[in-house]
Structure 1
Amino acid sequence: MDSRKSVTTEICAILCIDSSNFFYRACSLCERTLPEDHPASRCCIHCANRYATSASAGSKLLFRVLMSIATDEKVFNVICFDRVARALFGCSADEFWDFARLHPFATAAANRVLEGELFRMSLSTPKNGNAQHLRVTSVVPVRSEYRPVIEYVRQLKAVMKDS
């Protein structure tokens, strides 16, 4: 990607995804990132102070997927946040986390499902100067038969159950 451009669109193949940590916890009201040890039943301190009745609003999980992709010229790492990752996974981060908690194979299966899959990706440079990776701002499958990850892992679960 040309460093002078802020957004570019490329045909990319996903090489692998970092399945060690797909998620981060955020306030359900303002979506600020919360610390790892923050109770799931509480919103952030800012919303709790601002909206006294919403202190019990809680938190939610959002996707943050680090992946290696390849274009016809280069291989590099990008990060895919919640809105775009939902298109890949076909569900919310909370739903996938609940499924993966009951079926530990799900995160490894997600990597296998996405490996080698072609997408038209819009990539942007991060606005934060401390950020390390390009951002995926949109993703469109190239293959018309593409199905989201959650459909494949549910199908795999059913096949494993029948075996």
Structure 2
Amino acid sequence: MEVDKRTTTICTVVAIDHTALYYTVCSFCERALPETNTAPPSVTHCDHCNFTRNTSAVPHRGGGSTSHPSSKRLFRVLMSVATETKVFEVVMFDRAARVLFGCSAQDFADFAKLHPFSGETASKILEGEMLKVTLSKPKNGNAQHQRVVSVVPLKSGFRPVIDTLRELHGVRPDC
């Protein structure tokens, strides 16, 4: 496949790495921020735009604070897919992943905090799902996997992951 050439194929989801479905980025420049495993969240500096991340509130120039968080989560889903000829790994970033998950990565992370094993359950929900995907070579020379740039579920009754999880946990959609 050439650098800018995209290919479209039909595939089946074999497995999803549910241990790292999303990553944290600066909400201003969208560059990846280092993950922190401390509680409460620590302040992290964005080296690219020189913004300081504090997950509570962002100081506003005129004083006070805004309700906009200084960081956000975006999907980065590593999955194995099978075509009729081979099995291989692809990476699906935020725009494409929202189609399958039915919500933002931040909403999914918030749901997962309240409902442990949501990532693992999401993986099981999507296993065996047939998809029409458009793949491209990674833009980053260090990347190993082809990117899913668009995805269309082929099942006529497809339901996004978050809808199925809400039903399993008895959570109304407005929650």
TM-score by length of 1: 0.86
Q: CA deviation at 1:158?
A: 1.5
Q: CA deviation at 1:112?
A: 0.9
Unaligned runs of 5+ in 1: none
1:92 is aligned to 104
> What SS class does the counterpart of residue 73 from structure 2 fall into?
strand
Whole-angstrom distance in 2 between the partners of 1:118 and 1:40: 40
* RMSD of aligned alpha carbons: 2.4
2:56 is aligned to none
1:101-140 correspondence runs (5 A):
101-140=113-152
Structure 2: which amino acid aligns with 1:133?
A: H
Whole-angstrom distance in 1 between the partners of 2:102 and 2:10: 20
Whole-angstrom distance in 1 between the partners of 2:89 and 2:13: 10
The CA deviation string for residues 106-138 of structure 1, in whole angstroms up to 9 with x for no partner, is 111101110000010000011111100000000
CA contact (8 A) 1:42 1:58 kept: no
Between Structure 1 and Structure 2, which shows a larger proportion of helix residues?
Answer: 1
Whole-angstrom distance in 1 between the partners of 2:25 and 2:2: 32
1:1-163 correspondence runs (5 A):
3-4=1-2, 6-37=5-36, 44-45=46-47, 46-48=49-51, 53=60, 57-158=69-170
> What SS class does the counterpart of residue 112 from structure 2 fall into?
helix
TM-score by length of 2: 0.80
The CA deviation string for residues 11-56 of structure 1, in whole angstroms up to 9 with x for no partner, is 010001000111100011111111113957767241539xx94797
Whole-angstrom distance in 2 between the partners of 1:114 and 1:88: 8
Whole-angstrom distance in 2 between the partners of 1:119 and 1:109: 19
Whole-angstrom distance in 2 between the partners of 1:27 and 1:98: 18
Whole-angstrom distance in 2 between the partners of 1:115 and 1:106: 14
Q: Percent identity?
A: 52
Whole-angstrom distance in 2 between the partners of 1:91 and 1:47: 29
Whole-angstrom distance in 1 between the partners of 2:98 and 2:120: 17
CA contact (8 A) 1:84 1:137 kept: yes
